[in-house]
A and B are shown apart, each in its own frame.
Chain A
Amino acid sequence: MGWIFDVYARNLVERHFYKINYNPVEIEKDRSILLIANHFSIWDGLILYWLAHRLLAKKFHVMILEETLKKEPMLKYGGAFPINKGSKNMIHSIDHAAQLLADPQNLVLIFPQGKLYSNFVSDVHFEKGVMKIMDKALGKFQLIYAATFIENFQHKKPAVNIYLSGNTNCTFENIEALNAGYQQHYNAARLLQTKIVL
């Protein structure tokens, strides 16, 4: 079933968008990847799935809300695993994510915002869970920030800009430090995006 989802999802992304632009980042072969991204639609997961195949070349996993997974059960063939915020099972999901990060073949995508926000937000606010995963898997993964923006411009179909930045420093004192680090990347990406004039 996995390959059916794979073909379907990548085809969906390629058909829906005119172009997907991204900047290359350096990938370390001996470490897994923790991808942290902004969350504004269901497209961003699919776009990053496409990107993981195209650029990052690791096995894709994504943490999504349990209720979303119940609605769209086919997402599990794309590497989705559930998290139920506020329940006791949350710790299992966190352990599972940390275990995945121990294998250098894997990529784990997390949306630390915890729910959908607008694509136009200027401040990204993180929830705490991601910090626990990072503490548990410390040193085994490479941290990559992604900021995604969708815009139409002169074509009927929208275009996507993904701004990536690899991060050598994976140790953060607390969630605020991580949030500030991501915010810095997000602000720089947003500035580039707003400067686009055709």
Chain B
Amino acid sequence: MIPHRRIRWVQKLAMQYLLRYRIPKTFNVLHHTEVELLPGHSILLLCNHFSWWDGFWAGHLTNIYFHRDFYIMMQEDHLKKRMYINYMGAFSINRQSKQVIQSLQYAANLLSNPNNLVTVFPQGQLVSNHSDEINIERGIDYMVKKIEGNCQVIYYSAFVEYFESLRPSVYFHLLDCGTNHNFDYEKVKAKINAHHKQALKKPG
């Protein structure tokens, strides 16, 4: 696995570029719902994965809403193609190798610090935005069980819509999935799928 080589000022600079220039240029509106954020907890952010932008949106939301130090888990071959993200807090996972456990443990260690936020795409691959089922890989369960300290698990479904604008708008539907102490894999999976189906009825 490739560990992150986060440099605080590089990440900050990249975030400012995203926030002030790249996202306003590309998108019309980014709208998110709100959940109760627990103080003193790190955040494990789960997202649906359907586009190139997902990681950047997660970074954007962290910057404007979650206010934690941003880390993201990426597929190893994807990260190798764009190593600059490595300096912004990306580390890798290779699902085909035995180092999966190592990556999950690495993420759990990061989450043991309450100042951190780790973004994970639980589907493990790019799936259509129109899909009405979210597959949560077993690794999430393993990762959450390994966290020492307090961590809040948050999921969001993002949807891209156009309507009257030529530029797309993105709508984030946030869901609080509890903390690592009361984490039940099957229950959370069912909850996330119900939430996603509900959100899909009225995405915008």
Contact = CB atoms under 8 A, between A and B. Distances in A.
A and B from one assembly?
A: yes
Interface of A: 16, 40-43, 116, 118-120, 149-156, 158, 190, 193-198
A151 B131 contact: no
B14 to A, nearest CB: 15
A1 B130 CA distance: 39
B51 A151 contact: yes
Given A43-B166, A120-B159, A197 B130 contact: no
A198 B51 contact: no
B166 A16 contact: yes
Given A153-B51, A154-B52, A197-B128, A120 B200 contact: yes
B52 A41 contact: no
A157 to B, nearest CB: 9
A153 B50 contact: yes
Contacts of B203: 118, 120
B175 to A, nearest CB: 18
A151 B163 contact: no
B186 to A, nearest CB: 23
15 contacts: A40-B162, A41-B164, A41-B165, A42-B166, A118-B161, A118-B202, A120-B130, A120-B200, A151-B50, A152-B52, A153-B51, A156-B26, A193-B130, A194-B128, A194-B131
User: Which range holds the interface residue count of chain B?
Assistant: 20 to 34
B159 A153 contact: no
A40 B161 contact: yes
Contacts, number: 77
A150 B203 CA distance: 14
Nearest to A198: B126
B126 A153 contact: yes
A153 B125 CA distance: 11
A86 to B, nearest CB: 21
A42 B162 contact: yes
A190 B131 CA distance: 9
A82 to B, nearest CB: 17
B204 interface: yes
B179 to A, nearest CB: 31
B131 A152 contact: no
Contacts of B202: 118
Contacts of B115: none
Given A43-B166, A116-B164, A120-B203, 18 more contacts: A41-B164, A118-B203, A118-B204, A120-B129, A120-B161, A150-B162, A151-B50, A151-B128, A153-B52, A154-B126, A155-B52, A156-B26, A156-B53, A158-B168, A193-B130, A194-B130, A196-B128, A198-B126
